[in-house]
Each structure stands twice: as C-alpha cells, then as structure tokens.
Amino acid sequence: MTQFPARHTIPPGLVTLADHEQHARTQLDDNAWAYFSGGAADEISLRANRTAWDALSLWPRVLRPLAGGHTRVPLLGRTLAHPILLGPVAFQRLAHPDGELAMAYAAAALGAGVVLSTQASVSLESVAQAVLPDPGRGPLWFQLYLQPDRGFTQALVQRAEASGYEALVLTVDAPTSGVRDRERRAGFRLPPGTGPVNLAGLQAPASTPLSPVQSALFDGLLHHAPTWDDIAWLQSITRLPVLLKGVLHPADARQAVSVGAAGLIVSNHGGRTLDTAPATATALPRVVQAVGGAVPVLVDGGIRRGTDVLKAMALGASAVLVGRPAVWGLANAGAAGVAHVLRLLRDELEVAMALTGCATLAEATPALLEGQDGAPSGRD
C-alpha cells in the first residue's frame, strides 16, 4: 500500500512563488540547490524564460460579464479543472523525503496533471497508486527518455501502461546534458537512496575505445541519440498517445505533426540544455502557428505568476507546466507546499482573468496581448 506523505504547515510569509523559491534556499543544501536551480552555461536562456513573460503586456477589457466564469480547459479528450500541470523533474527526494509521492498527492488534490520523470526517485507504480483513486485528479503522464536498450525502454512503457498512465511525454531536446556550471562547481552528486529507481537493472551500453583525436560525444555517446525514426518505433509499441517535449522550432513542430505526435510541449528544458536557446514565450506563438490547431501545444519555462499562465493561453497554449516552483513548495512543506504553489497560481490566474475581462480561457486570445505597434493586437 502506498504510504501517505507527511503533513506539514506552510511557513509564514509565503504568498508568491518567488517567496517559495527564496525560502527553499534555506531548506536545500548546496548540492540540491545547484541541481534544481541551475541552468546551462551562462544561464541566458534560464533568465530569458522569465523575462520574456514579463515583456508581454495584458490589455484589459472592462465591463464584460464575468459571473459563472471558470478555468476549465479541454486537453486530449478530458476536461481539466485548470490548465496547470506539474512538469517532469528528476530526483525529487533531493528536495524532500516524500519526493514524487508528495508531488502526486498534491497535484491530485488540486486537480493538476502530473508528468512523472523517467528519472524519478519513487517508482512509477507508487505514483500511479497515489493519483489514480482521486476522482478530481488531472491527467497522469509518464515522461520518457529513450534508452539505448530498446527492450528496456519497451518494458518501461509497458509498466507505465499497466499502471494506468494516460500518455507518454518523450523528451527530444536532450541527446546529451547541457554544460551545467553550477552543478560542476558544487560537485553535484546523488546521495544514497535518491537514484532513478525506475531505471534499476538498466545496463550501460558498452563503450568503444577512442583515440585521443576522437570525440567522446560524437564518436561515442551520440551513437544512441534518438531520431525521428524512433518516434515511429515508440508509437508502434504503445497504445498511449505520445507527446514530444522540447520542441522550439516551427519546422520541427510541423514534422512532429506529420509523424503523428499527439501533442507538443514547447520547452527549452528549463534553460538546462542549450544556453541561448530562445525563451519559450518567444517560441510558443511560432509553434502554435506552425501546427495550425492540429494538436494541442503546451508550454513550460519561467511561469511564476497567474498572469504568465494567462499570457501563455492567449498565445495559443492548451495548458502550461511548472517545474521548479513545485520543487520549492516540496522543499518548504512537502505535499502541502506543492499544493500551496498550485493554489497560488490558480488563484492568481482567476484574478488575472477577471481583471482582463475573460470569463473563460477560451476568451484569452492574442487580442489580450500588446501588439508590436504598442496597441492591442487582434480583433476588438
């Protein structure tokens, strides 16, 4: 039987996601802080994710009918209570002993979707047992990294299917890790009991001896990097819809639709892979335009306010995902902290909707945002 997470109270004075981040620094050691908070290289993309949302203005409309409004949205055949999902974050027991289990309980209680990382520190079966019995829960998806051992990957997919996961989220933007300076300075390491438990038994691929002039990356590790052909293989072994996470370029978005992806997640991996990649708020409207409504488009990266959620929806997103803020809540107060983060975001979203004249998120269109000429774009 799955054990319920410990009960905690919210520390006083935490009224924003930024407050949660500041307090989490006092709860996490340097090792965990470097892992969760750091980005790649000079962290330009990490910062840009945040500033790009700030650069968008909301143009409020007044005297509109708001009674009976709501935050419900459709997504892959379901109606969600709100458009906020918890994105995949690895090794959450670095932040709290309950790790992904606390995250799952909080999400289910608040009607938020959960995307569990392949590199979770809690078994995928335990998380499913925590989420699925709750009638008000959001969707339960499993994030997948394709492993060099296809048999192991297939077994992992079968475990997710058997446990009740409703979609696979294939990460496509990380054929290798980014240059993470903060982790290197901190000497990052996983403490005992915090490993990727769902990858237990996976054998590392045999290494090929390299000459001094060869590249360990191009002549070694990247031999196993996934390609578009692997999308077809994955679809052939599962009955679950497959979404692609890490799409920024419109051409890739169009190709993803052509190969049958069930949805796209506009993401730059939280600024943790390619530094100077565009901010997700910048890429989102380009991807939305490229797919032309053929599949749902979700977005993550830098979302810290309810106004950010509303801006994402106005740019054409079907839903948003948050990662680091949920970890800060987890570090501060376990499941209660994660629930508090979700509640803050949803409450702020509702306020932003009311103050911009949107009774529903279907009314959040590009007309809500500032045009390049300084006037509202779109129709009156």
Establish whether 299 is an annotated binding residue. no
Query: What is the pairing mode between strands 297-299 and 78-80?
Result: unpaired
Establish whether 10 is an annotated binding residue. no
* Helix, strand, or coil (residue 185): helix
Q: Which of these is catalytic: 20, 23, 96, 269? A: 269
Establish whether 282 is an annotated binding residue. no
The span from the CA of 73 to the CA of 75, in Å, is: 7
Establish whether 89 is an annotated binding residue. yes
Establish whether 191 is an annotated binding residue. no
Establish whether 45 is an annotated binding residue. no
Q: How far is CA 298 from the centre of its chain?
A: 9
Establish whether 306 is an annotated binding residue. no
**Of the candidates 352, 359, 357, the residue with the CA atom closest to the CA atom of residue 380:** 357
Residue 269 annotated to the active site: yes
Establish whether 366 is an annotated binding residue. no
Q: Whats the size of the chain, residue-wise?
A: 380
Establish whether 318 is an annotated binding residue. no
Six-digit token pair at 148? 């060099």
Establish whether 143 is an annotated binding residue. yes
Establish whether 300 is an annotated binding residue. yes
Establish whether 126 is an annotated binding residue. no
Is-contact 79 138, C-beta < 8 A?
no
The span from the CA of 272 to the CA of 270, in Å, is: 5
**Of the candidates 146, 288, 159, 142, the residue with the CA atom closest to the CA atom of residue 231:** 146
Contacts of 220 (CB under 8 A, 6+ apart): 207, 208, 210, 214
Establish whether 88 is an annotated binding residue. yes
Establish whether 263 is an annotated binding residue. no
Question: CA distances (Å), 294 to each of 75, 98, 265, 335, in order?
Answer: 13, 38, 14, 36
Contacts of 165 (CB under 8 A, 6+ apart): 116, 124, 128, 140, 141, 142, 240
Establish whether 223 is an annotated binding residue. no
The span from the CA of 254 to the CA of 261, in Å, is: 10
Q: Which residues are catalytic?
A: 269
Binding site membership for glyoxylate: which residues? Answer: 35, 145, 180, 269, 272
Binding site membership for FMN: which residues? Answer: 88-90, 117, 143, 171, 245, 267, 300-304, 323-324
Binding site membership: which residues? Answer: 35, 88-90, 117, 143, 145, 171, 180, 245, 267, 269, 272, 300-304, 323-324
